[in-house]
A and B are shown apart, each in its own frame.
Chain A
Amino acid sequence: MTETHDIDAVNAVMTQDEAQADVRQMNMIQAINSALDVMMDRDPDVVVMGEDVGYFGGVFRATAGLQQKYGKNRVFDTPITECGIIGVAVGMGAYGLRPVPEIQFADYIYPALDQLVSEAARLRYRSAGEFVSPMTVRSPFGGGIFGGQTHSQSPEGIFTHVSGVKTVIPSTPYDAKGLLIAAIEDNDPTIFFEPKRIYNGPFDGHYDTPAKSWAGHAQAQVPQGYYRIPLGKARTTRAGEALTILCYGTMVHVVENTVAAMGVDAEIIDLRTLVPLDIEAIEASVRKTGRCLIVHEATRTSGFGAELLAQVQERCFYHLEAPIERVTGFDTPYPHSLEWAYFPGPVRIREAITKIMKD
């Protein structure tokens, strides 16, 4: 067992004098807003930019109040050109700023791909460190909000395939703040995908029951001050012996709920960072349980689950007692009216767990 996936050990990275005792309940939006506030206050080079992020505070309110507090030179609305937003952020990074651009929906990130893939991700390498791109690109992603195919996608696998960029996905308010602070402080470009289905509360996958808020959730107790959760460290949200479930973002909560309902002794690992991946936590857990389920909302073929499956197979083959299973989105666009047939919900997760445990 490594200590890296021990939640107490990870939280201990937050040094006691830095973590302010002033903890309050926050939803994920408030936690992200707090992270931006803390970092803008600490570092005058942090700038926030994007469509509607300024005076209005963002379509999801993640940047509310920041322009009023830090001024228009540091928090500003941009033209509707994602290519331009990221290109400008590369130039600002080369100047010495630490830009935190927002792409309003992950589905809109494609016009910025060249600037992200060929420029931000490659600048340190191609200039041998003369120029770097320390930007953090925030973008809401994932479905479950009836957003149709242009407001629901999970394109993380496109970025994990690119050398030179880190990909981070939080699943709770506490993690969202600590990871976002770490991403902003990181000197490499980071894609920070925010699971918008759980902005306002954890989601158990049962779309037909009333929505829950973050109230009362242990991970919604968020320090108001500075703390960071290191990139590349997973979080074991439930320790167990029967099987290992690898997941991130919204699916963490869907998995937790399904596991609780089934009464199966699963070990649930919230990856939190896809690149760099916490391979030690994964390897230790699968070697212990001998069974592995991978769950993500993104499409299946060449999805990040394929990489996870390969890693587990390479490292844990002789410990496996059953084939590794994947529960993912289907290889179709996200259908509006059939959203809940597409979403990898409790029914499919339950079936997969049952199958793995049968062998």
Chain B
Amino acid sequence: MSDPLGSVEGQARRNLPSLKLHVPEPPARPGEAADFTHFDIPAAGAQPRPDETAQPADMRDMAYGLVRVLDDGGQAVGPWDPRLPAETLLKMLRYMALTRAFDARMFRAQRQGKTSFYMKSTGEEAVSIGAAMALSRDDMCFPSYRQQGILIARDWSLVDMMNQIYSNKGDRMKGRQLPIMYSAREAGFFSISGNLTTQYPQAVGWAMASAAKGDTRIAVTWCGEGSTAEGDFHSACTFASVYRAPVIMNVVNNQWAISSFSGFAGAEATTFAARAVGYGIAGLRVDGNDVLAVYAATRWAADRARANAGPTLIEHFTYRVEGHSTSDDPSAYRSAEESSQWPLGDPIARLKAHCIALGIWDDDRHAAMDKELAEHVRDAAREAEKNGILGHGLHHPMESMFEDVFEEMPWHLEEQKQQMLDEWKAAGL
């Protein structure tokens, strides 16, 4: 480019610095040491707990702090401690371990060629389990694709989930959806979409309907930090704020959106909970690997919604330990050390340590539980495989693909169905 110094305009600009484009870069790439020094992690118990009906303007600090209950010594401390009975703690531990065992089995099933795709939630189990246990069972969940823990915490059938993953003849979704995109109306679990954050305004709409009808049920939704950039997220926040919808909006900040670190969603500039500040809604930032903090924050937000005090946006600060999916290899873009050095630790190990510190649990019982759960999942998988695995013929009949496009099949789909069947017949198949 030529410098237009000859022009008056060029003369006036010659002393200005060149403009620079900032393209974010994560602290560590493959082969480099993990670096978490940029994270400010406050001590457990340090965060105040505002009243559930507090004005958003009076609790803005909560969007920049980090609600933590479990300290490094396995003690539950501070005003957010939900003081759960031993029985509930052990149930939480079991659900988290079951989710991990389920993930392990289904990941392996994909590697064995039994299905096309799987997504683990390793390291993020607390986000789903803590929330599901803090909600009423009839509260409506609009999850993203990594909240299988909700179904598990609602005691949904593992065989039913696996039938979906195998797209077999037992799949209630008739083999139409990518594996893990469950739908379970009876479990208050909305049909998962592959398009990101579309569930956010849908959850707000469901919550608005519940409020308009004078119901008592609330809606809860989840998305990843990467997809907070979608317009749907901001539409949802606007609607939630405007109508004070009884909804909890969760952002699972697991640091990585496939290969894009959270900086590409704006994490270098502020927190994700801080999105709430601009919308004038309550925002909480929570240690997402601390199941007691997740439980307490969700309970706070649910009580707030039920009291007609409005929506809450909760950022769960966590880490995606595994790849985005079975189609992803994180060693190609991030430091291999990160998952082991992540300062907020592992959610199962932390709750386990707490239960041991309370004297209600020990290593032997934990090992026995893991063994029992692995067998339980294995038995479920064997049961599901009786209905078939992907690509081995035991799927819904071909013509079922034309069903449910509309309530009643219109002529053009009837015609296309018949044409397909005739062609296959003519081909001798």
Query: In the complex the two chains form, is B407's CB within 8 Å of A124's CB?
Result: yes
Number of A-B contacts (CB under 8 A): 144
A164 at the interface (CB under 8 A from B): yes
Interface readout for A96-137 with B: 1 if CB under 8 Å, 0 if not?
A: 110100000000000100110011001111111111100000
Closest-CB distance, A306 to chain B (whole angstroms): 15
Question: Do B238 and A125 touch across chains, with their CB atoms under 8 A apart?
Answer: no
Q: Does A289 reach chain B (CB closer than 8 Å)?
A: no
Is B142's CB within 8 Å of the partner chain A?
A: yes
Please pick, from A78, A94, A127, A164, the residue contacting B173 in the complex, using a CB distance under 8 A: A127
Cβ of A168 to closest chain B Cβ, rounded Å: 13
B39 at interface, CB cutoff 8 A: no
Asked if B195 lies at the interface with its beta carbon under 8 angstroms from chain A, I say yes
CA distance A132 to B405 in the complex (A): 10
Q: Which residues of B contact A74 (CB under 8 A)?
A: 212
Given contacts A74-B212, A130-B191, contact A83 B201 (CB under 8 A): yes
Report the bound CA distance from A125 to B177 in whole Å.
9
* B405:A88 contact, CB within 8 angstroms: no
Residue of A with least CB distance to B243? A76
Whether A131 lies near B201 (C-beta < 8 A) is no
Give a binary string over B176-218; 1 marks a CB under 8 Å from any A CB, 0 the rest.
Answer: 1100010111000011010100101111111111101100000
Q: Please report which residues of chain B, range 7-51, place their CB below 8 angstroms from some CB of chain A when the two chains form the complex.
A: none
CB proximity of B101 to chain A, nearest CB, Å: 27
With A73-B212, A115-B232, A127-B173 as given contacts, are A90 and B195 in contact (CB-CB < 8 Å)? Answer: no
Cβ–Cβ contact A128 & B205, under 8 A: no
B324 CB-CB contact with A under 8 Å: no
Q: In the complex, how many angstroms separate the beta carbon of A3 from the nearest chain B beta carbon?
A: 16
A128 touches B173 (CB 8 A): yes
Q: How far is the CB of A230 from chain B (nearest CB, A)?
A: 11
Scoring A residues 296 to 329 as 1 if CB is less than 8 Å from chain B, else 0, what string do you get?
Answer: 0000000000000000000000000000000000
B411 partner residues in chain A, CB cutoff 8 A: 276, 279
Residue on A nearest B406 in the bound complex, by CB: A188
CB atoms of B212 and A87 under 8 A apart = no
B156: min CB distance to chain A, Å:
13
Q: Which residues of A contact B140 (CB under 8 A)?
A: 94-95
User: Does A14 make an interface contact (CB < 8 A)?
Assistant: no
CA distance A164 to B412 in the complex (A): 12
Chain B residues with Cβ below 8 Å from A47 are 209, 212
Q: Would you list which residues of chain B between 382 and 429 have a CB under 8 Å from chain A?
A: 404-407, 410-412
- Contact partner of A188 (CB less than 8 A), chosen from B142, B172, B193, B407, is B407
How would residues 155 to 170 of chain A score, 1 for a CB under 8 Å from any chain B CB and 0 otherwise?
0000000011010000
A88 near B201: Cβ-Cβ < 8 Å: yes
Residue pair B173, A79 in contact (C-beta under 8 Å): no
A interface, CB within 8 angstroms of B: 47, 73-74, 78-79, 81, 83-84, 86-97, 99, 111, 114-115, 118-119, 122-132, 163-164, 166, 186-188, 232, 275-277, 279
Between A and B, 30 residue pairs with Cβ closer than 8 Å are A78-B239, A81-B235, A83-B231, A83-B235, A84-B235, A84-B236, A86-B201, A88-B202, A90-B201, A90-B205, A91-B142, A91-B202, A92-B208, A93-B205, A95-B213, A111-B231, A115-B198, A118-B193, A124-B407, A125-B405, A126-B176, A126-B177, A128-B172, A128-B183, A129-B404, A130-B184, A131-B185, A132-B407, A188-B406, A279-B412
Other CB < 8 Å A-B pairs besides A114-B195, A122-B193, A131-B191, 17 of them?
Answer: A81-B235, A87-B200, A88-B202, A90-B205, A92-B205, A92-B209, A93-B205, A94-B205, A96-B209, A114-B232, A123-B191, A126-B177, A127-B183, A127-B185, A130-B184, A131-B190, A276-B412
